[in-house]
Structure 1
């Protein structure tokens, strides 16, 4: 029997990209996507996961586990810490979409800029990088930039051009004072074609995540 994975997603904004990356990097792996875009709306309205969001996430994780998948991926950085709390109650391993990105950022530099497009992601993203650095025994500085409302422009209006105008200036500014720039939302990959002239590495989570998925599945045998 072949390998299979499940993405638990709080919006569909990056679902097509994740499927495309899986076809490219892990073409023989069966991919399930469990998407509930009401989750991100509630998270954003409350600046973080509510108890109701956590309960629904648990249900989706259990549903994914019942599918018999080899790995579950939490697609949303804003609920990454909620995923951490769920992991001990599952038999199936869980990977957060931004885990590999955080590790790469800490490897690349001491001064790390985090660009976020929704407030609910700021705390979890910064704490993830700080925790990774602590485990690696490395001192870092995190420079947070919030482009408030940009993510919802992309999700609700589908306006990638406006989203990119809102975010690009912050990325350029952050690159002047930092060793590496982290794009906290996977949805920000729409910006990548505009970042070729940025003088420092700019990291986005989807590709790094799927590459890590491949490594984990290969390690499972």
Structure 2
């Protein structure tokens, strides 16, 4: 069984659909904790470490063999908590970051919340170091997108993200940092890859749930 830790209930149908395409028959259990993102945005990701550890420990007791954290802001904290518990935990954007590093040195990252900026930049630098590559990361906060998302105007949020992506120049690859941004990539033809995390993240986590192998060094693109 794969546990999925979300900070929005909107991710549940998205990942259920991806499971049906990528890993039919995989048992999944969704944990939705929006308050973790609220606290991480206000106090920093480390502020939710204890609660994350408790959630993951409970998931392991309930039969989870691996977990996927779909929130980019708290992903690094989730991975660290999983390592301490001996439970393979993958942040949804790690395979995406590895693919971005492989695509080229000039990486543009779009985010809709400021709290995602540093965790995503740090993750890309980790993957660049692992691959022995040098990259230049430029992060753009999409103005007004998160406010639209919180107000329930999801189409407006995605429209703003797509518009921001079209304005990116001098990049080898564009990264949409958060899982909620993924639909904005549909239909974009910008001449460079536009990467999102949900599909590759789920694929990698499903592999981990099906085996006893650690996620360390795992690559799925």
Deviation at 1:219, TM superposition (A): 5.0
TM-score, normalising length: structure 1: 0.89
Once the two structures are overlaid, the 10-residue window that deviates more, 200-209 or 83-92, is 83-92
- The 8 Å contact of residues 110 and 176 in structure 2, kept in 1 or not, is answered as yes
Return the match for 2:49 from 54, 66, 70.
Answer: 54
Question: Where do 1:52-201 residues align within 5 Å?
Answer: 53-154=48-149, 156-174=150-168, 176-195=169-188, 197-201=189-193
Q: CA 1:100–1:50 in structure 2 vs 1: closer, same or farther (change >3 Å)? A: closer
Give 3-state SS (helix, strand or coil) of 1:212's partner. helix
Deviation at 1:167, TM superposition (A): 1.8
- The 8 Å contact of residues 3 and 68 in structure 2, kept in 1 or not, is answered as yes
- The 8 Å contact of residues 4 and 30 in structure 2, kept in 1 or not, is answered as yes
Question: Where do 1:21-40 residues align within 5 Å?
Answer: 21-40=18-37
Deviation at 1:49, TM superposition (A): 2.1
User: Residue 45 of structure 1 aligns with which residue?
Assistant: 42
Give the distance between the partners of 2:7 and 2:155, measured in 1 at CA.
22
Give the distance between the partners of 1:65 and 1:79, measured in 2 at CA.
19
The count of aligned residue pairs is 213
- The 8 Å contact of residues 67 and 205 in structure 2, kept in 1 or not, is answered as no
Deviation at 1:81, TM superposition (A): 2.1
Deviation at 1:96, TM superposition (A): 0.9
Give 3-state SS (helix, strand or coil) of 1:177's partner. coil
- The 8 Å contact of residues 109 and 180 in structure 1, kept in 2 or not, is answered as yes
Q: CA 1:192–1:134 in structure 2 vs 1: closer, same or farther (change >3 Å)? A: same
User: Residue 9 of structure 2 aligns with which residue?
Assistant: 12
Query: What RMSD over aligned residues (CA atoms) do the two structures have, in Å?
Result: 1.7
Q: CA 1:146–1:55 in structure 2 vs 1: closer, same or farther (change >3 Å)? A: same
Give 3-state SS (helix, strand or coil) of 1:11's partner. coil
Deviation at 1:63, TM superposition (A): 1.1
Which structure carries more helix by proportion? Answer: 1
TM-score, normalising length: structure 2: 0.89
- The 8 Å contact of residues 118 and 148 in structure 1, kept in 2 or not, is answered as no
